[in-house]
Structure 1
Amino acid sequence: MHTVTTRPIEGQKPGTSGLRKKTRVFMQPHYLENFVQSVFDSIGGAAGKTFVVGGDGRFFNDRAAQVILRMAAANGAAHVIVGQGALLSTPAASHLIRLNKTDGGLIMSASHNPGGEDEDFGIKFNGPNGGPAAEGLTDRIFARTKEIAEYKITDAQDIDLSRIGETALGDMKITVVDPVTDYAALMETLFDFDKIRAMIADGFRIRFDAMNAITGPYAIEIIENRLGAAEGSVVHGTPLPDFGGMHPDPNPTWAHELMDTMNGPDAPDFGAASDGDGDRNMIVGPNVYVSPSDSLAVLAANAHLAKGYTEGLAGVARSMPTSAAADRVAQKMGLPCYETPTGWKFFGNLMDDNRVTLCGEESFGTGSNHVREKDGVWAVLMWLNILAVRKMSVVEIMQDHWQTYGRNYYSRHDYEAIETDTANALVTDLRAKLPDLPGQTIQGRTIATADDYTYHDPVDGSVSEHQGIRVIFDDAARFVIRLSGTGTSGATLRLYLESLELDPANFDRDPQDALAGIIGAAEEIAGIKARTGRDGPDVTT
């Protein structure tokens, strides 16, 4: 072990899901080491502690894992549990942290961002509850990166992470585990595999697109091996450092191959996709796309059909930009419903306090209190469990849901890689307009309220400001604008649009048509196209 002199490197501020930069930035001398040491320093040191380490397999994942292990040993860690090949999906890492009662974990991923030497890499620390670090901790980590002067590392040969078993690095024990086994066992306790197996044996066909990312091994083991789906039901199932050139973001734009299949003449009965690190999901049926907001609402309404949730839900939570479809379910079922800022860490407090069981975000993330991360494979299995019990198709489930609760038409428009100053100026100018907006009539709708969302955590009393600009009309239609914290180039501006429809005669409209008035109002008020020079969004979901 030796101590290396270093100096602060600008820009190491963790976002909603850790630190994300271009891979070559992380490959610079001292860059990864500075951040990892700052994490250890900010949690009171690593001495005597146990951690989980793993990642989504993107380029630099294997090298970063070796650096983290050598630094953990030099900082006095007692034990590190690492996924075979340095691989772990984010929800599986969360489960291992909780299962083994460790002091946290370091997860290497840039989630749904592209991978490769010229693309993106990321790393985040998850706490002992298995969830992303709270804002207080990420603030301390960032503060430490701005003053760091040295880090500790051990000189050693690479640890063989290809073989399951125990080894050591100095006084630190290293346990290499199969990344899938414990997670798959957890899923069997939550869902009725027998019912799903019977449905599949009766001819039910599945297409799961793992997008050459981490969920491939999980989906093959669970969906094909344990549930009996035909070989080849999981496509793009081998994790690759560059995701095979795919953009591992499960939405209709990037998972277009799956969408073509599901909209084709011989579509399977059920389609799904997951992202780079396995915490997101997209659900589709033959000629029907299920928006993430609707998916959360359907799961909330039907979760009691899965064996791990038969006693009902403690409550439901959604991120503020997510549609209010889940609110309508919670109200009808007499459940508490919480609205939080974007970022799964905000759900962690509510779950730890037993206030909610189910959580979801419009950004293709859904999960429950079985871990403290959103969980793509879990969401797919919950859908399969519901379909097996109700014996209905995906489109029938959706139509029945809208008949019961109404339809919250919803869409998100992403304007990616905008010049940062332009994006910041747009948001600043819109924020200045907010006090004068209520009472104005735009596109035939009257604005009821307009604000910059502030969240007051009911568990720890913390306050999170500037979490998104909301403009809400008197018919409950609304749009939300916020800057994303998950990109690595320029700024991504997200526009969220929602309108409630209660007339069954209008449930089959195209969402963009149904939301045309809200889209026009948002442009009239915020001027996104005019300010950015864009003809329209880069991604529409």
Structure 2
Amino acid sequence: MSNISVVSTKPYEGQKPGTSGLRKKVKVFTQQNYTENFVQCILDANGAALNGSLLVVGGDGRYYCKEAAELIIRMCAANGVAKLLVGQNGILSTPAVSSLIRNHKALGGIVLTASHNPGGPENDFGIKFNCENGGPAPDAVTNNIYQLSTAIKEYKIVNGLEIDISKIGTNTYDINGKPFVVDVIDSVANYVAHMKEIFDFEKLRDFVSGKTSGKPLKMRIDSLNGVTGSYVREIFLNALGAAENCVVHTIPLPDFGGLHPDPNLTYAKDLVETVAQGDYDIGAAFDGDGDRNMIIGHRAFFVTPSDSLAVIANNLECIPYFKKNGIQGFARSMPTASAVDLVGKKLGKEVFEVPTGWKYFGNLMDAGRLCLCGEESFGTGSNHIREKDGIWAVLAWLSVMQHTGKGIEDILKDHWAIYGRNYFTRYDYEECELDPCNEMIATMEKNITDPSFIGKSYTSGGKTYKVKVADNFSYTDPVDKSLATKQGLRIVFEDGSRIVIRLSGTGSSGATVRLYIDSYEKDNVLGLASEMLKPLIDIALEISQLPKFTGRNAPTVIT
């Protein structure tokens, strides 16, 4: 029998979850009682429902993940949880956690990830809570967790509870006369079975192996040494019959092998250069915890996340899951270019514009009003779970390629010929000083919400844009009527072009400024994005005074 210890503690400042959990440097999380405080607040936020409950625990394998998982097990044992499903070695992708929560009707899950942020002892760690629907905790829950963190006085733990989470199997303990079960599970099996229910793996295997065309599909699937490695090997090599050289960086490493686990043109440079120089049909990369994706075609033809969402929306009939379950509405985050809106309009489906953060899609899915959604930060997903899902997105693209018999670039060109093109880019200015950034946002908001701003014209590069709408985006949830305010400054021009600027909630230190530029063209769809968007970028820098406030002459990352 193991006994429960009650340990005195004091609050730490700043344990406020951001867009998707609490993210800080490893050195912050490893301070005395820091992780314990936050985990106790997650558990306390669940109230009486925690007693006798089932929770899922796992993470992206980054530095401190295994130690944190073992700590969480000991704390769950002390707080009345009856059973845990824990990924082997503490590893589960974020989509896999969501799938497991839903499949096992769990109370929720504790996910150990800082997503696309760098890993290692000098870099980032994160913890977030996913609710019983499998999605990130909504604002009401994260606000409660934060309030609890400001007043915490003690946490509960079972000291001396030893468990080897490297071995798959069921472990049962007696905690003060009550059974406590820890199931260490295969990290991959449940998720792979779920994908086989969604997609036609037989058709995809024939397509990938070249059985139908006589030529195997040439792929380069890059896990960037993040959590997706094992999933990629099981799905693309074992289930779909791809050759070993089609997958790279498939061993999850605590520091991601020095790679930056953010699947974009800057950080997935090796993938982009390799596909640009080779005869590849498709290239793809995923972030640290497996929920984000980047898709590129032959010669590294880049698919923007907003175009990716729109193309999948326009071809859902080729995926068995949607044939069986029907097609409800579509949604995108507010900064994401509005390409999917045009597909929704043509198909007669609702299209929702929500704040940044996957949790805003969950209510719409649970209400049966949404089946496909995405955000410009390389996230795409459907109502099969309540998280974005990188591997799902690649399987969706392979399904579209198989169905149309065309390559990625031709699929995009055909799409633009029907719908027109939303040219889109995002400038990220990372780890800026926070106070000047807050001043920049406050100054810009004051300027653009002045009534005289509407109707103003701005000219650059021979193009003139006239302001139609300007505001700080707010969102009323159509299901529960909850209100989210101050979600990003946006300027919408009369031709539909947009400038959006916001401070990101996913960094671990300082401020990350994100500037989004979106310009729609009905006919001129084959231009170079950087040239087409330059006039509007120059206007955005002028209106925001971003170089002045940040001291930066160029962004850290352009996507």
Q: TM-score, normalising length from structure 2? A: 0.95
1:468 and 2:483 equivalent? no
Give the equivalent residue in structure 2 for 1:440.
456
Give the equivalent residue in structure 2 for 1:528.
546
Instruction: Indicate which of 306, 314, 335 corresponds to 1:301.
Output: 314
Alpha-carbon separation, structure 2, partners of 1:360 and 1:153: 39
How is 1:58-207 mapped onto 2 (pairs within 5 angstroms)? Answer: 58-170=62-174, 171-202=179-210, 203-207=216-220
Alpha-carbon separation, structure 2, partners of 1:169 and 1:18: 30
| CA offsets 1:178-205 (integer angstroms, 9 cap, x no match) | 0110100110111111111111222211
| CA offsets 1:370-409 (integer angstroms, 9 cap, x no match) | 0000000000000011111111000110100100110000
Alpha-carbon separation, structure 2, partners of 1:416 and 1:486: 11
Identity %: 50
Deviation at 1:157, TM superposition (A): 4.2
Deviation at 1:47, TM superposition (A): 1.9
Give the equivalent residue in structure 2 for 1:485.
505
Instruction: Indicate which of 410, 417, 424 corresponds to 1:396.
Output: 410
Deviation at 1:467, TM superposition (A): 0.3
| CA offsets 1:310-351 (integer angstroms, 9 cap, x no match) | 254101010000000000010011110000000000000000
How is 1:93-492 mapped onto 2 (pairs within 5 angstroms)? Answer: 93-170=97-174, 171-202=179-210, 203-264=216-277, 266-287=278-299, 288-310=301-323, 312-434=326-448, 435=450, 436-443=452-459, 444-492=464-512
**Which stretch of structure 1 is more off in the superposition, 61-70 or 302-311?**
302-311
Deviation at 1:531, TM superposition (A): 2.0
1:20 and 2:23 equivalent? yes
Alpha-carbon separation, structure 1, partners of 2:321 and 2:206: 19
The residue type equivalent to 1:442 in the other structure is Y
Alpha-carbon separation, structure 1, partners of 2:80 and 2:193: 32
Deviation at 1:485, TM superposition (A): 0.3
The residue type equivalent to 1:273 in the other structure is A
Q: Secondary structure at the match of 1:167?
A: strand
Distance 1:511 1:188, change over 3 A: same
Alpha-carbon separation, structure 2, partners of 1:482 and 1:130: 27
1:512 and 2:503 equivalent? no
The residue type equivalent to 2:388 in the other structure is K
Equivalent pair of 2:18/2:506 in contact (CA under 8 Å): yes
The residue type equivalent to 1:384 in the other structure is L
Alpha-carbon separation, structure 2, partners of 1:533 and 1:320: 27
CA RMSD after TM alignment: 0.9
Alpha-carbon separation, structure 2, partners of 1:262 and 1:402: 23
Equivalent pair of 1:195/1:389 in contact (CA under 8 Å): no
Consecutive aligned runs of 4 or more in structure 1 exceeding 2 Å deviation: 168-171
Alpha-carbon separation, structure 2, partners of 1:465 and 1:422: 21
Equivalent pair of 2:74/2:161 in contact (CA under 8 Å): no
Deviation at 1:56, TM superposition (A): 0.3
Equivalent pair of 2:170/2:181 in contact (CA under 8 Å): yes
The residue type equivalent to 2:28 in the other structure is V
The residue type equivalent to 1:473 in the other structure is F
The residue type equivalent to 1:233 in the other structure is C
Alpha-carbon separation, structure 1, partners of 2:257 and 2:202: 34
Deviation at 1:129, TM superposition (A): 0.4
Q: Secondary structure at the match of 2:251?
A: coil
Count of residue correspondences: 538
Equivalent pair of 1:293/1:325 in contact (CA under 8 Å): yes
Deviation at 1:61, TM superposition (A): 0.2
The residue type equivalent to 1:308 in the other structure is Y
Q: Secondary structure at the match of 1:515?
A: helix
